């Protein structure tokens, strides 16, 4: 009951950071610098301070450990088994972040020892962090099915092959590129630029950019144009 004294339980945050590099989905991990479990791979974690909200804590902790700030962060789930942390009773509130790898490349590699791993080849992580990652992958699938959050993973301008690779990676499928581009363009949310990306091919692929105004207005109607429930892993 609320009027009894609260037992002591520590409150931590762990951040699951997804990135997209133009062709693959990646996950950001750090090597733990202290005992226990020193040198094992881990998510970015830390304790919530007494005078900060848990949302604020997630941003602070991510920035401390990776230098990343201003990224899209959303609460995922709170993990609270009794023995999940081998050290002391700790619950962990997890957040996931979506970023465009290229945009933050320099910030990251300069001072921090974080590394990108392909989402389908994650090493063994400390505690229950692998479970957290699995849940985050599923949540991303759900979220992306109904919300255009995934544009957070893309640079300002991007090509159709890039955005399709992103969806292919998130849902672990291969969409038909003819149907995919038709559906995507039919939203009217993409503006074609007079400029090509020549990185990916000799012919080059046209860049597109988000029509921000329409994007705000139509936040709702847009998706599930792309994804049907068949694509979700239950």
Q: Among 182, 217, 219, 233, which residue interacts with DNA (rule: CB under 7 A)?
A: 182
Interacting partner of 50 out of DNA, a second copy, none (Cβ under 5 to 8 A depending on kind): a second copy
Tokens describing residue 12: 């931590």
Binding residues among 191-210 for DNA as defined by CB under 7 A: 196, 198, 200-206
* Angle CA 223–229–233, to nearest 5: 115
Task: Identify the residue among 71, 72, 82, 212 touching a second copy (CB under 8 A).
Answer: 82
For β-strands 205-210 and 190-197, DSSP reports them as antiparallel
Tell me which of 159, 167, 184, 223 binds DNA, using CB under 7 A: 159
Least CB distance from residue 151 to DNA, whole Å? Answer: 17
For a second copy (CB under 8 A), the number of binding residues is 52
Per-position b or e across 175-184, b if 16+ CB within 10 A of its CB:
beeeebbeeb
Rounded CA-CA distance 197/29 in Å is: 30
User: Which member of 90, 130, 141, 181 binds DNA (CB under 7 A)?
Assistant: 181
Q: Is 80 in the site for a second copy (CB under 8 A)?
A: yes
Binding mask 129-158 for a second copy (x = CB under 8 A): -------------x---xx-----------
Selected from 19, 22, 45, 161, the binder of a second copy by CB under 8 A is: 45
Strands (E) located in 43-172: 44-47, 72-79, 90-100, 114-118, 157-159
Q: Does 77 bind a second copy (CB under 8 A)?
A: yes
Pairing of strands 10-20, 90-100: parallel
**Phi, psi (degrees; rounded to nearest 5) at 194:** -90, 50
Q: Which residues bind DNA (CB under 7 A)?
A: 159-161, 176-179, 181-183, 196, 198, 200-206, 225, 228, 230
């Amino acid at each position: 009951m609320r009027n009894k004294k609260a037992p002591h339980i520590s409150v931590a945050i762990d951040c699951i950071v997804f990135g997209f590099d133009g062709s693959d989905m990646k996950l950001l991990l750090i090597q733990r610098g202290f005992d226990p479990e020193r040198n094992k791979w881990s998510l970015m974690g830390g304790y919530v301070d007494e005078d900060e909200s848990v949302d604020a804590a997630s941003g602070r902790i991510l920035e401390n450990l990776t230098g990343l700030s201003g990224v899209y962060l959303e609460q995922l789930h709170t993990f609270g088994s009794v023995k999940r942390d081998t050290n002391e009773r700790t619950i962990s509130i997890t957040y996931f972040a979506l970023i465009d790898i290229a945009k933050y490349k320099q910030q990251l590699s300069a001072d921090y020892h974080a590394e990108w791993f392909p989402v389908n080849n994650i090493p063994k992580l400390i505690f229950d962090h692998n479970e957290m990652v699995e849940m985050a992958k599923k949540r991303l699938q759900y979220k992306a099915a109904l919300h255009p959050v995934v544009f957070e993973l893309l640079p300002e301008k991007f090509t159709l092959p890039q955005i399709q690779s992103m969806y292919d990676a998130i849902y672990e499928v291969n969409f038909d590129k003819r149907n995919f581009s038709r559906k995507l363009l039919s939203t009217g949310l993409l503006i074609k630029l007079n400029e090509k990306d020549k990185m990916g091919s000799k012919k080059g692929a046209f860049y597109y950019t988000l029509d921000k105004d329409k994007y705000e207005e139509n936040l709702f109607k847009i998706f599930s144009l792309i994804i049907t429930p068949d694509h979700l892993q239950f």
